[in-house]
A and B are shown apart, each in its own frame.
Chain A
Amino acid sequence: MSGKIITVTSGKGGVGKTTVTANLAVALASMGHSVAAIDTDIGLRNLDIVMGLESRIVYDLVDVAEGRCHLSQALIKDRQLPSLCLLPASQTSNKTAISPHELGLIAAELRASNDFVFIDSPAGIEQGFQNAISTADQIIIVTTPEVTAVRSADRVIGLIETSGKKPGQLIINRIRPAMVRQGDMLNTYDVIEFLAIDLLGVIPDDEAIIIAANKGKPMSGDPTSLAGHAFRNIAQRLTGETVPFLPILEERAGLWSRVRAAARRGLNSLSHPRKMGSRS
């Protein structure tokens, strides 16, 4: 077996890399694929807690890289999904504790026995990020429809291009349909127009994601949640299937909601006059 190594990265922190990694790993494992997830956010590990495996860590990524244990001893198998396992990050070392070469060897070994190997990248564009993308067959860039996240994603896309990797694919996380309709949030088309890369999926903002993280049970298995549905669709796309995008957010707002939005903006701007910033 020779699986695919997929790195999930973003530049900016807090846009949902870990949530995306956990949910895609769970969705693919639920579909019957064997999946390994590597948390490379050394010093700030979190994938273990989102996957609900934090209490079972014995060894970690740095232990494996430095030869203190065998890879199989550090892997934590999910109890519900036996085809899913996690290689947790070290919480005490720092991001330079592992080299691209060492991570490459570990990922290659996991690829030999899994259909998918996910690498959850740390935030930032330094060594940890470079490690995470160096070994990837495919790169997923996570952003949110916010100006800060899109700018960071653009930078990361440029760095991936510079590194000689093939272009990544984009997941837009935490879209809020009501704000898009009011003209207060970038929509999918806007983000794609700026970043000019392929879209892998769009995930609506969903309270169920926070609740799932609270419980340590990624919610891509939840049939009632729209975000869960979006994650399952993305997982299917990763297996090569063509799945249409959810018709959630993208229809143009009707005249009535535009009038309401305009009226609200009119009122807001009376009470808070907005001065346009100029960058000159």
Chain B
Amino acid sequence: MMELPGWMFGRRKSSKAITKERLKLVLVNDRAAIPPELLIVIRNEIIRIVSRHITVDRDKVDVRLSSSAGETRLIATISLASRQSAQPPVMKPLAEKKEF
């Protein structure tokens, strides 16, 4: 049966749909035994590392677990800043690679 899009009736998201989305996220974290607070730590480190090379939009970096077909993935979505800074970040050689 064809579903008419909800917006045609101004239909709001049902509380069931909201709870399903939330439950899905919570269960993926619970099952992997990776609490959301650890994802925040990972997110901040990703921002730190990527920012050395590219200007990222810090507010639009999303790190989450996703599970499908019995496989759990860590998915990071990193939005770049709309305009990269005029001077590209200098590629600083890493301290331990000075001998090159």
**Contacts from A to B (Cβ < 8 Å):** 147, 150-151, 154-155, 158, 182-186, 190, 194, 259, 261-262, 265-266, 268-269, 274, 276-277, 279-280
Contact A158 B31 (CB under 8 A): yes
Q: How far is the CA of A190 from the CA of B23 in the complex (A)?
A: 11
* Across-interface contacts of B83 in A (CB, < 8 A): none
Known: A147-B19, A280-B62. 10 other contacts (CB 8 A): A150-B23, A151-B30, A158-B31, A183-B14, A184-B16, A186-B19, A190-B16, A194-B24, A262-B11, A280-B43
Q: How far is the CA of A277 from the CA of B26 in the complex (A)?
A: 13
* Across-interface contacts of A274 in B (CB, < 8 A): 12
Contact B27 A186 (CB under 8 A): no
Ordered nearest first, which 9 A-B pairs have the shortest CB separation? Answer: A183-B14, A265-B12, A262-B11, A147-B19, A184-B15, A269-B12, A183-B16, A147-B23, A154-B27
Contact B9 A262 (CB under 8 A): yes
* Across-interface contacts of B26 in A (CB, < 8 A): 151
Q: Give B7-21 interface residues, CB cut-off 8 Å to A.
A: 9-12, 14-20
Closest to B59 in A: A280
* Chain B interfacial residues counted at CB < 8 A: 24
* Across-interface contacts of A190 in B (CB, < 8 A): 16, 20
Kindly provide the distance from the CB of A184 to the nearest chain B CB, expressed in whole angstroms: 5
Residue in contact with B30 in the complex, picked from A155, A183, A259, A265, CB distance below 8 Å = A155
Q: How far is the CA of A268 from the CA of B19 in the complex (A)?
A: 17
**Contacts from B to A (Cβ < 8 Å):** 9-12, 14-20, 22-27, 30-31, 36, 40, 43, 62, 64
Q: How far is the CA of A262 from the CA of B15 in the complex (A)?
A: 11
Contact B30 A185 (CB under 8 A): no
Q: How far is the CA of A206 from the CA of B69 in the complex (A)?
A: 37
Residue in contact with B27 in the complex, picked from A151, A183, A268, A280, CB distance below 8 Å = A151
Q: What are 26 inter-chain pairs, A to B, with CB distance below 8 A?
A: A147-B22, A150-B23, A151-B26, A151-B30, A154-B27, A154-B31, A155-B30, A158-B30, A182-B14, A183-B15, A183-B17, A184-B15, A184-B16, A186-B16, A186-B19, A186-B20, A190-B20, A259-B9, A262-B9, A262-B12, A265-B14, A269-B12, A274-B12, A279-B22, A279-B25, A280-B43
Q: How far is the CA of A280 from the CA of B47 in the complex (A)?
A: 14
Kindly provide the distance from the CB of A144 to the nearest chain B CB, expressed in whole angstroms: 12
Closest to B16 in A: A183
* Across-interface contacts of A261 in B (CB, < 8 A): 14
Q: How far is the CA of A276 from the CA of B19 in the complex (A)?
A: 11
Kindly provide the distance from the CB of B36 to the nearest chain A CB, expressed in whole angstroms: 6
Q: How far is the CA of A259 from the CA of B9 in the complex (A)?
A: 9
Kindly provide the distance from the CB of B3 to the nearest chain A CB, expressed in whole angstroms: 11
